[in-house]
Amino acid sequence: MLHLHTAHARVPIPYVTPGDMFSTARPATSILPSPRKLAFYGLLGAMAVVEAVEWPIAVAVGAATEVITREQAARQRAEHQHIARDRAARDQGRQVATERTEPGGPAQPAMA
């Protein structure tokens, strides 16, 4: 009787749950532009394909739009951070003034 020995490779098969799929998809969707921007870039690309706009002009318009959008977002973030810092400093000043007043006595302004 002839016995044939064969090698059996162990290949792990990954098990993917729905939670794994969604957690993996989140970083990818955060990189994608908003639906409105995606439509704009798609329309710009379509116009370049049908030669309604020359492709270098379409690239320049798309790049300029992205640069301007990012600059505006950065300015808005900086403005919101500045407002939040001012509000936190003002609230902290009020808290210190409240802690320095004596109960039953006249309120005295806090000196920093």
The full set of domain ranges for the chain reads: 33-99
Query: What's the confidence (pLDDT) of residue 3?
Result: 76
Joined together, the tokens standing for residue 65 give 């739009």
Per-residue pLDDT of the chain (112 residues; tens, 9 = 90+): 777 778 888 888 877 777 777 777 777 777 788 899 999 999 999 999 999 999 999 999 999 999 999 999 999 999 999 999 988 888 887 776 666 665 555 555 555 4
Residue listed under structure tokens 């030669």? 51
Query: What's the confidence (pLDDT) of residue 10?
Result: 85
Task: Please state, in angstroms and as integers, the Cα–Cα distance from residue 21 to each residue in 26, 27, 30, 32, 112, following that order.
Answer: 9, 11, 15, 17, 54
Joined together, the tokens standing for residue 34 give 């908003």
Query: What's the confidence (pLDDT) of residue 4?
Result: 78
CA 93 to chain centre: 32
Largest Cα–Cα separation, the chain: 109
Query: What's the confidence (pLDDT) of residue 97?
Result: 65
Query: What's the confidence (pLDDT) of residue 107?
Result: 55
Query: What's the confidence (pLDDT) of residue 30?
Result: 72
